[in-house]
Homo-oligomer: A and B are copies of this chain.
Amino acid sequence: MNYDLIVIGSGPAGYVAAIRAGQTGLKTLVIDKKYIGGMCLNWGCIPTKSILESAKLFKRMKTGAAEFGIEGFKPEELQFNWLQAVKRSTGIVQKLSRGIEYLWKKNGVEFLSAEAKLLSPNEVEANKLIYTAKNILIATGSKPAKLSELPKAIELEEFLSLAELPEKPILYGRGAIIVEYAQFFAMLGKTPTIIASDLPLVPKLDAYLEAFIIKKLKKDKVKVIPASGIMVKGDSIYFEDKQIEHDAIINCSLREAVLPASEIDLELAEGYLATDEFYRTNIASIFAMGDVNGKSYLAHAASAQGLSVINFIQGSQEADESVYPINIYSDPEMAQIGFTEAELKTKGIEYQSREFSLNANGKALAEGTAEGFIRLLFETKYHQVLGVQIVAANATDLIAEAGILLELEGTVYDLAKTVHAHPTIAEVFMDVASI
């Protein structure tokens, strides 16, 4: 069985690369040991956003609907049906999964559900058969590091299978996901505790956003405790000699690479597959994209890397220099793109920062979502925008405007003179640029 390309792993790196490969005429086989779409589609991005939407609506109905003029129900009697929220999420995942299958078929991509093992630079074994290909793409992803510090933790892959939600969960780890889970529980009126394996709580975030989210969690009554202060005795966990009440522990540890089974020596760098600027491993025919190469944990970065590899195989010599936005689906949402202040300082770039609050924005007030701001970081000479940070109910979509601005190397003046529609939350881009 000969292919132009074998893709191992079908998450956002693998499935996107496979579609593009098929589109460009490569005979392509995708092998995945579990479900189409990988962590992102099955246990990550999509299901968490689905259940978060449920929690956000629950909170809005409980605390905001009366203000909006909606009556005929008692907020205190509202209940959250966890299994129904999961059922809805599962329906969405299935729909998207069928969408990927459809696009694969349309572009002649084959799929095999099996565990893959690399045998040689051009051979992969799966289901006891040997498949050969000119190129092999490894997109096996990552998963949270096993939690040795605490007893019996629930893994994220198990979370959606819980029969009921814990009332007092401990969330152990770091990153955007721990913030999202903590607020998910808080919005449902439960009592989560974060044990932060390290600080900052969300790596790579600008210190300004980190400070905001720490303050916000406090306001939401979510305790954030440093792991260094924890003592474990059997099933009991203590902080400053006081027992932390809990009925579940959820593992939100930082992720580590899931390496494929292999009979050939793939070079590693700090536990990840080592790659060059074209995502090539030490074996010229083998590429590694997405989390497994350790360059980023972001789904959209993985997809961009996947596309870049197909472009390279098809003859492009352009290295992937994409700028990746970071989104947190918190309440309110947070988003960031470009350099952080710390990065600008390290690079010695002279910069200014400017911020404009959402609390005088007509649309945000109309929606009842006026908590937040847009913040610009720009170099002082031409005022080219180098970084944008947003806190807003819809920050994760608003950041797209900043993406185009950075891609086209736009300035604060460009932003100021672009007429933004009234009333919109995006007007704040114009406001902050016009200060």
**Chain A positions near chain B (C-beta within 8 angstroms):** 12, 40-41, 45-46, 49-50, 52-54, 57-58, 60-61, 64-74, 77-89, 92, 95-96, 99, 298-301, 303-304, 322-327, 335, 360, 362-363, 365-368, 394, 396-401, 403-405, 407-408, 410, 414-415, 417-427, 429
Please determine whether B414 and A408 come into contact, CB atoms closer than 8 angstroms.
Answer: yes
Q: Chain A binding site: helix, strand, loop or mixed by DSSP? A: helix
Please determine whether A418 and B397 come into contact, CB atoms closer than 8 angstroms.
Answer: no
Q: How far is the CA of A64 from the CA of B400 in the complex (A)?
A: 28
26 contacts between A and B (CB under 8 A): A45-B423, A46-B423, A49-B363, A49-B366, A49-B423, A50-B365, A53-B368, A58-B69, A68-B85, A68-B88, A69-B82, A71-B80, A73-B73, A73-B78, A89-B366, A92-B366, A99-B360, A304-B419, A327-B424, A394-B394, A396-B421, A399-B426, A400-B420, A404-B404, A407-B417, A408-B408
Taking the full assembly, how many copies of this chain does it contain?
Answer: 2
| Complex: chain B residue closest to A410, CB-CB | B408
Please determine whether B78 and A420 come into contact, CB atoms closer than 8 angstroms.
Answer: no
A82 surroundings in chain B (CB, below 8 A) = 69
Please determine whether B53 and A366 come into contact, CB atoms closer than 8 angstroms.
Answer: yes
Lowest 3 CB-CB distances: which A-B pairs, in order?
A: A400-B426, A69-B85, A73-B73
Please determine whether A365 and B425 come into contact, CB atoms closer than 8 angstroms.
Answer: no
Please determine whether B46 and A57 come into contact, CB atoms closer than 8 angstroms.
Answer: no
Q: How far is the CA of A324 from the CA of B410 in the complex (A)?
A: 19
A401 surroundings in chain B (CB, below 8 A) = 400-401, 403-404
A326 surroundings in chain B (CB, below 8 A) = 421
A72 surroundings in chain B (CB, below 8 A) = 73-74, 77-79
Q: How far is the CA of A403 from the CA of B74 in the complex (A)?
A: 43
Q: How far is the CA of A82 from the CA of B74 in the complex (A)?
A: 18
Please determine whether B404 and A415 come into contact, CB atoms closer than 8 angstroms.
Answer: yes
Please determine whether B420 and A403 come into contact, CB atoms closer than 8 angstroms.
Answer: yes
Please determine whether A418 and B407 come into contact, CB atoms closer than 8 angstroms.
Answer: yes
A66 surroundings in chain B (CB, below 8 A) = 84
| Complex: chain B residue closest to A37, CB-CB | B362
Q: How far is the CA of A53 from the CA of B69 in the complex (A)?
A: 10
Minimum CB–CB distance for A348 against chain B, Å: 26
Please determine whether B399 and A421 come into contact, CB atoms closer than 8 angstroms.
Answer: yes
Please determine whether A404 and B397 come into contact, CB atoms closer than 8 angstroms.
Answer: no
A65 surroundings in chain B (CB, below 8 A) = 57, 61
Which listed residue (B46, B70, B71, B415) contacts A366, Cβ 8 A? B46
Please determine whether A362 and B403 come into contact, CB atoms closer than 8 angstroms.
Answer: no
Known pairs A46-B362, A70-B81, A408-B408; A400 contacts B421 (CB<8 A): yes
**18 extra A-B contacts, CB within 8 A, seeds A61-B65, A70-B78, A322-B417:** A46-B423, A57-B70, A68-B85, A69-B80, A72-B74, A72-B77, A72-B79, A96-B362, A300-B419, A300-B420, A300-B421, A322-B418, A325-B421, A396-B424, A399-B424, A400-B426, A404-B404, A408-B414
